[in-house]
Amino acid sequence: MESTSIIKLNNVSKSYNGTKALNNCTCEVQRGEIFGLLGPNGAGKTTTLEIIEGLIHADQGSVQVCNGEMPQEAEKVRRRMGIQLQNSGLPNDITAGEAIKLFAAYRKVKVNDGLLNTFKLDKLTTKKYSELSGGQKKSLQLCLALLHDPELVILDEPTAALDVETRNYLHAIIKDLKSRGKTVIISTHDMSEAESLCDRIAILIKGEIAALGTPREITSGNSRELKISIKSRNSTLLDNPDFVRENIASTYKLNDYRVYFSDNATQSILEIIKKIEQANDEIIDFRVERPSLEEKLIELIQKGKKI
- In this predicted model, which residue has the larger pLDDT, 306 or 230? 230
Per the domain annotation, does 298 fall within a domain? no
Q: Per residue in 93-152, pLDDT tens?
A: 999 999 999 999 999 999 888 889 999 999 999 999 999 998 899 999 999 999 999 999
Report the chain's terminal Cα–Cα distance, integer Å: 34
CA quadruple 194, 196, 198, 202: dihedral sign: positive
Do 24 and 121 have their domain in common? yes
Per the domain annotation, does 297 fall within a domain? no
Q: Per residue in 63-87, pLDDT tens?
A: 999 999 998 999 999 999 999 977 7
- In this predicted model, which residue has the larger pLDDT, 200 or 264? 200
Neighbour count for residue 140 (Cβ, 10 Å): 25
Q: How confident is the model at residue 222 (pLDDT cuts 50, 70, 90)?
A: low
What is the phi/psi pair of residue 242, to 5°?
A: -95, 5
DSSP for 278-295, written as a single string = HTT--EEEEEEEPPPHHH
* SS3 annotation, 194-240: HHHHCCEEEEEECCEEEEEECHHHHHHCCCCCEEEEEEECCCCCCCC
Do 121 and 207 have their domain in common? yes
Contacts with 230 (C-beta within 8 Å, 6 or more apart), sequence order: 237, 257, 258, 259, 260, 272, 276, 283, 285, 286, 287
Do 133 and 62 have their domain in common? yes
pLDDT of res. 306: 53
Q: Report the percent of the chain where pLDDT is more than 70.
A: 96
pLDDT of res. 89: 79
> Stretch 167-191: mean pLDDT, rounded?
93
Distance CA 169, CA 79 (A): 27
Q: Is 80 exceeded by the pLDDT of residue 223?
A: no
CATH number of residue 253's parent domain = 3.30.70
Mean pLDDT estimate for the chain: 91
Distance CA 193, CA 190 (A): 5
Q: Per residue in 15-56, pLDDT tens?
A: 999 899 999 999 999 999 999 999 998 899 999 999 999 999
Q: How many CA atoms lie within 13 A of 297 on its CB side?
A: 22
Domain range enclosing 277: 226-290
Distance CA 247, CA 266 (A): 9
Specify the number of domains making up the chain: 2
Contact between 154 and 34 (Cβ < 8 Å)? no
Per the domain annotation, does 303 fall within a domain? no
Question: Does the model's pTM come out above 0.75?
Answer: yes
Do 104 and 189 have their domain in common? yes
pLDDT of res. 53: 93
Q: Which of the 8 DSSP states describes residue 44?
A: S
Do 134 and 258 have their domain in common? no
Q: Per residue in 265-301, pLDDT tens?
A: 899 999 999 999 999 999 999 999 888 888 888 878 8
pLDDT of res. 247: 85
pLDDT of res. 151: 96
Calculate the CA dihedral of residues 112, 29, 168, 90 and round it to 10 degrees.
-50
pLDDT of res. 22: 96
Task: Decide which of 162, 188, 219 is a domain's last residue.
Answer: 219
pLDDT of res. 163: 87
Q: Is 70 exceeded by the pLDDT of residue 2?
A: no
> Stretch 147-173: mean pLDDT, rounded?
91
